[in-house]
């Protein structure tokens, strides 16, 4: 009677040496999947940029200039609220013009990849690369979702392993630029005459986000759930596809825009009462140390409330961002993006992981943001010095 030979699974892990076996997709398929991710989520952003750039001149001429004439003889504070530097009908409209196309196009892209199963397929192929920063394949889905909304992404981390959930939340909070943040940064760089800065901005956001996660949340279990079965593509549901797009649009109009309008009203009143000028005098030494214009402090403050608060850098028709240097523009946008997650995201992290973890995460993120901003400024000055 012949002995039955027990076969070893092709992707088993050697528990004695704790070394990964060489997988056939470790390089080629993982890199290809990464390129597909960049295309799927990058092309909608580029399309939104082209649309907003084409509409902005007409929008300013037909809408904003007419409203400014309409309120030209109104009481000062009323004019400030509606058509001032932070006005509802001036600055507030930038949020719609630049953020909504990004929300719509990126939402459609995410819905499409989810419905046909492409997101799960890409995730399984990306697992080897994700392991290098202490994440598993299933952690990648919330990180991708973060490019739509960080709050939803944090809630999705419930599907992560307990040993990698902190790493996943850290990466979402720092490196996943939500659709509102993307729309706002596109607007700032474009108004400043340097739209090309958006590409290095995303690159730096990703690299520093990975380093931030590796430094503050070193993983102790790198071997669990190494291989995920590749899911099959399917036709999906057209009804569910449009339902998800409708959900993204509804969230924008019912939640994002009202909150941003409230920010505009508060900023306009503070500006009209002269309180913003006093705020600028308090933070001037800190901002000067980081080579940031003092007028940018308002945008930095409100970006903590919501990421599209970055649009406040467009105050005065973009006078601020048009007058500063390239490195100053990059640093103020990067710092406003990373100094803190928005308040709703921080609150969600506290609800899911506890208030102590949320406070620690916020302080760690602020530390990384400030230090990395100083490093960027130092590297720039070194390059200029040697050139």
Q: Is residue 15 part of a domain?
A: no
What was the pLDDT predicted at 42? 80
The answer to whether the Cα torsion of 32, 38, 41, 47 is positive or negative is negative
Exposed, middle or buried: residue 226 (CB in 10 Å: 0-12, 13-18, 19+)? middle
Alpha carbons within 13 angstroms on the beta-carbon side of residue 311 total: 30
pLDDT tens column, 261-288: 887 888 888 878 888 777 767 767 767 7
Per the structure, the count of domains in the chain is 1
**Confidence (pTM):** 0.75
Provide CB contacts within 8 A for 96, sequence distance 6+: 257
What was the pLDDT predicted at 30? 66
- Cα distance between residue 289 and residue 308, in whole Å: 25
Exposed, middle or buried: residue 185 (CB in 10 Å: 0-12, 13-18, 19+)? buried
What was the pLDDT predicted at 20? 39
- Cα distance between residue 185 and residue 387, in whole Å: 29
Q: Is residue 226 part of a domain?
A: no
What was the pLDDT predicted at 159? 66
Structure tokens at 82: 């509606």
**Structural domain that includes position 42:** 28-220+235-386
pLDDT tens column, 214-223: 899 886 555 4
Q: Is residue 8 part of a domain?
A: no
Q: Is residue 252 part of a domain?
A: yes
- DSSP code of residue 192: T
Q: Is residue 275 part of a domain?
A: yes
Q: Is residue 373 part of a domain?
A: yes
- Which among 304, 348, 358 has a CA at the least distance from the CA of 156? 348
3-state secondary structure (DSSP) of residue 235: coil
DSSP secondary structure letters along 62-103: IIIHHHHHHTTTS-HHHHHHHHSTT-TTTHHHHHHHHHHHHH
What was the pLDDT predicted at 208? 94
Tokens 């070194």 identify what position?
Answer: 382
What was the pLDDT predicted at 110? 80
Q: Is residue 377 part of a domain?
A: yes
What was the pLDDT predicted at 85? 75
Residues of the chain falling short of pLDDT 50: 1-26, 223, 225-230
- Cα distance between residue 132 and residue 47, in whole Å: 32
Taking a C-beta distance cutoff of 8 angstroms, is the pair 290, 373 a contact?
yes
Q: Is residue 174 part of a domain?
A: yes
- Cα distance between residue 242 and residue 34, in whole Å: 26
- DSSP code of residue 307: G
């Amino acid at each position: 009677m012949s002995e039955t030979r027990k076969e070893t699974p092709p992707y088993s892990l050697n528990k004695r040496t704790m070394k990964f076996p060489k997988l056939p997709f470790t390089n080629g398929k993982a890199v290809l999947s990464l390129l597909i991710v960049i295309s799927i989520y990058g092309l909608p952003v580029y399309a939104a940029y082209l649309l907003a750039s084409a509409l902005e001149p007409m929008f300013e001429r037909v809408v904003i200039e007419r409203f400014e004439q309409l309120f030209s003889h109104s009481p000062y504070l009323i004019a400030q609220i509606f058509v001032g530097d932070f006005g509802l009908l001036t600055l507030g409209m930038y949020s719609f013009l630049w953020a909504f196309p990004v929300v719509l196009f990126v939402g459609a892209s995410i819905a499409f990849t989810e419905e046909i199963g492409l997101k799960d397929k890409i995730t399984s192929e990306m697992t080897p690369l994700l392991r290098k920063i202490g994440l598993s394949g299933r952690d990648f889905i919330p990180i991708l979702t973060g490019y739509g909304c960080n709050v939803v992404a944090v809630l999705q981390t419930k599907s992560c392993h307990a040993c990698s959930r902190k790493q996943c939340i850290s990466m979402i909070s720092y490196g996943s630029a939500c659709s509102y943040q993307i729309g706002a940064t596109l607007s700032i760089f474009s108004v400043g005459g340097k739209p090309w800065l958006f590409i290095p901005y995303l690159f730096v956001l990703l690299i520093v986000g990975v380093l931030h996660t590796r430094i503050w949340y070193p993983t102790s279990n790198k071997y669990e759930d190494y291989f995920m079965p590749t899911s099959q593509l399917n036709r999906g549901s057209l009804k569910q596809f449009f339902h998800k797009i409708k959900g993204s649009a509804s969230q924008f109009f019912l939640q994002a825009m009202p909150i941003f309008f409230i920010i505009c009203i508060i900023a306009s009143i503070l500006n009209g009462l002269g309180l913003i000028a006093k705020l600028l005098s308090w933070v001037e030494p800190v901002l000067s140390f980081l080579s940031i214009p003092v007028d940018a402090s308002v945008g930095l403050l409100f970006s903590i409330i919501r990421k599209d608060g970055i649009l406040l850098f467009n105050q005065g028709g973009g006078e601020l961002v048009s007058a500063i240097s390239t490195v100053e523009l990059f640093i103020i946008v990067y710092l406003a993006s990373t100094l803190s997650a928005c308040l709703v995201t921080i609150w969600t992290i506290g609800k899911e992981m506890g208030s102590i973890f949320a406070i620690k995460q916020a302080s760690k993120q602020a530390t990384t943001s400030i230090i990395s901003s100083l490093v960027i400024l130092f590297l720039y000055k070194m390059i200029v010095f040697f050139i």
